[in-house]
Structure 1
Amino acid sequence: MKKLLIFLKKNTITQFILMFVRSIYFLPYKLYVRKLGLKIISPEESVQMIISEKLSVARFGDGEFNLAFQHRGIGFQEYSKELEKQLLDVMRDSKKTAVTVALPHGYCDTSEDRFKTKVFWWSYVVRNKHNIISFENSVGKKEVLDASFTRVITELKNKNKINRIIEKIKMIWNAKSVLIVEGSGTQFGIGNDLLANAAHVSRIIAPAEDAYKKVNQIRKEIRNFINSQQSLEDVVVLIALGPTATVLAYEFGEIVQTIDIGHFDLQYEYLVNGSYDRIKLNNRYDNEMINGASFLPSQNKKYQSEIIALIN
């Protein structure tokens, strides 16, 4: 039954129907966002600030909101009271730290998005407006970064802007020592040139699903890596672990530049394969695709050599 529900949710026919059903939320969305006091910086400007100010970023999206406010899991990450508390703590404590929280720009504006992305946010924002207000009250900031800078390839309309943002994102780790904390099957930068400009790459591999169950072990391995570095000035930590990444980016973000990088590698792989839409990739775990948990593990020797910890 669970597999059937996932299929019905993710197949193209359902998505096509939902796209038109959600369009009815356009006017309520426009009315509501006028009342929001929150400003979300554009994806391009967000990336530029991450680079120039060496910002650490903890991203919140609909998945984190489901866990924090709806008390329910999101498919690849089951709900837990502890995770809910941690996400809420990140919101509340973000006023006191240098770690920057980020929200999808769709919470405020969809003018530069493709239609299927627009209607998703119109529907989501209207149906979850009380949660957004709760976030706003907790964070207390009037300006936050765009969490969707990691998804521009499938979401934005302007391909020239997409290309500019991609090249800027690569500069975050230019000539730096990079620690990637990723789920099994993420294989960030393997088979593409995303990390070609990094000085050195190390990896901590965690479970692709329910990674938060292993959060203490992941924390320990990140600390071990940090302690092994002579200087953290030219080190950046990239975390691709769903809501667990939000928590860890906040926890380590004041020690070393730490970025919840989300689905960026997946998005880049779509583009490498000639698509601006989500497509099934045989070499990646992709929680948003039907049978996305089925993939070919990398036999790349360089990738294997970069792994400093494997957490099952």
Structure 2
Amino acid sequence: MTHSILRRFTTRMYYKFRYNNPIAEYIKSATEKHVIAKWKAKVETAAISIDSCEETIKNIVDNKKSISRFGDGELRLLRPGEQLYFQDRDELMVSKLREALNSNLPNLIIGLNEGIIQENGLLKQKVKNWWIVYLKDHGLQLIDLLPKNRRYGNANITRFYIDYTDSQYSLRISEMLKNIWNRKDILIVEGEFSRLGVGNDLFENARSLHRILCPVKNAFSRYDEILEACKEYGKEKLLILALGPTATVLAYDLAKEHYWALDMGHVDVEYMWMKMRATGRVSLRGKAVAESKDRDSADYSLSKSDQQEYNSSIVKRIL
């Protein structure tokens, strides 16, 4: 009986002080500051840093670097038993992700989400809070996974809008990205309904554009075919990859053979969200948006002109 009364009292006090209460907010703030301070000390000890998006893009342009991006999804797959909505767990893929993360190729940037180091003041507070919880729960595992004494690129070069507070910053990053493929022959390697550049002007300054279509889900199951197709059709071209964690591994394997390959998942979606001034992760007609709430009932139809242009750009289907 006493235990039951105490439990009810504790529950009432929890809900009484949970919302809009200065004491609760103070405790929450103090906890967050403690988590951040503790994490930053570990990062400093490990000598880990992450370049800005501007620095990362400049490195890609000036030095013709490839990039493999490790967002929260890729890092999640490196934990035992985890999988993603669009990619079942595959131990070979996990092994390849570890290999890429620990690689040290001179022509490859390994990108991490800058939310990890909590230094960009333009990130929305809810995004910072998400990473605080992530670091509280998984920080020790993460610090063990990451190679030490290393300067990483910024994985957010393709995540430049929805997580940020400054639209001018987002516009500036998008214009810098366009400079990467300015007057270049590009080969897009993407999921069947990703349709990068369709219905927008993201790649209009490219000299030519062709694409290889791959499975929407579990693309890694066709990895060998995709890799060979990239080598066949990607000679002397800039490869733009949008295939989730498969793209992370693919950029690494292609860089080893001196192809110029960029893991650029989400870039088209973020660009369109920016253009329409979206306030959330909304669906886009004609495209697969994995993060939208109605992703399972998406409308993949295109206008007649977009469909014709899209079809004419496809050089291979691996479905």
Question: The TM-score by the shorter chain falls in which range?
Answer: 0.7 to 0.9
Contact 1:185 1:295 in 2 (8 A): no
Shift of 1:99: 1.2
CA drift at 1:125: 1.7
Instruction: Please show how residues 45-84 of structure 1 align to structure 2 within 5 Å.
Output: 45-84=55-94
1:285 is aligned with what amino acid?
Answer: A
Alignment partner, residue 22 of structure 2: none
Bigger Rg, structure 1 or 2:
2
Aligned to 2:100: 90
After superposition, the Cα gap between the structure-2 partners of 1:22 and 1:157, relative to the gap in structure 1 and judged at 3 Å, is: farther
The one-character-per-residue Cα deviations of 1:57-81 (angstroms, maximum 9, x if unpaired) are 0000111111122331011111111
Offset of residue 26 of structure 1 = 4.4
Instruction: Determine which of 281, 289, 292 is the counterpart of 1:289.
Output: 292
State the Cα RMSD in Å: 2.0
In the alignment, what sits opposite 1:6?
none
Aligned length: 285
Distance 1:147 1:57, change over 3 A: same
Alignment TM-score, normalising by the size of structure 2: 0.84
1:32-51 alignment runs, 5 A limit = 32-36=39-43, 37-51=47-61
Residues 126-141 of structure 1: matches in 2 within 5 Å?
126-136=136-146, 139-141=147-149
Q: CA deviation at 1:269?
A: 1.2
The Cα shift of 1:147 comes to 0.4
Q: 2:285 touches 2:301 (CA, 8 Å); kept in 1?
A: no
Match of 1:181 among 185, 189, 201: 189
Deviation, 1:133, is: 1.3
1:147 aligns with 2:155: yes
Percent of aligned positions that are identical: 27
State the Cα deviation string for residues 158-201 of structure 1 (Å, max 9, x = none): 22221111100011100000000000110000000001000000
Secondary structure of 2:187 counterpart: strand
Distance of 1:207 and 1:166 partners within structure 2: 27
Separation (CA, whole Å) in 2 of partners of 1:174 and 1:157 = 27
Tell whether the 8 Å contact from 2:59 to 2:65 is kept in structure 1 after alignment: yes
Equivalent pair of 2:42/2:143 in contact (CA under 8 Å): no
Q: List per-residue Cα deviations over 1:123-167 (Å, max 9, x = no partner).
A: 11221112321232xx34421101011111011222222111110
Kept in 1, the 8 Å contact 2:240–2:262? The answer is: yes
Does structure 2 retain, via aligned residues, the 8 Å contact 1:104–1:148?
yes
Stretch moving more, 21-30 or 158-167: 21-30
Deviation, structure 1 residue 272: 2.2
Counterpart pick for 1:29 among 36, 42, 52: 36
TM-score, length-normalised on structure 1?
0.86
The answer for unaligned runs of 5 or more in structure 1 is 1-16
Task: Return the offset for 1:277.
Answer: 3.0
Quote the Cα distance in structure 2 between the aligned partners of 1:191 and 1:115. 31
1:205 to partner: Cα distance? 0.5
Instruction: Measure the CA separation in 2 of the matches of 1:141 and 1:198.
Output: 37
Report the secondary structure of 1:198's partner residue.
Answer: coil
8 Å CA contact retained: 2:170, 2:274: no
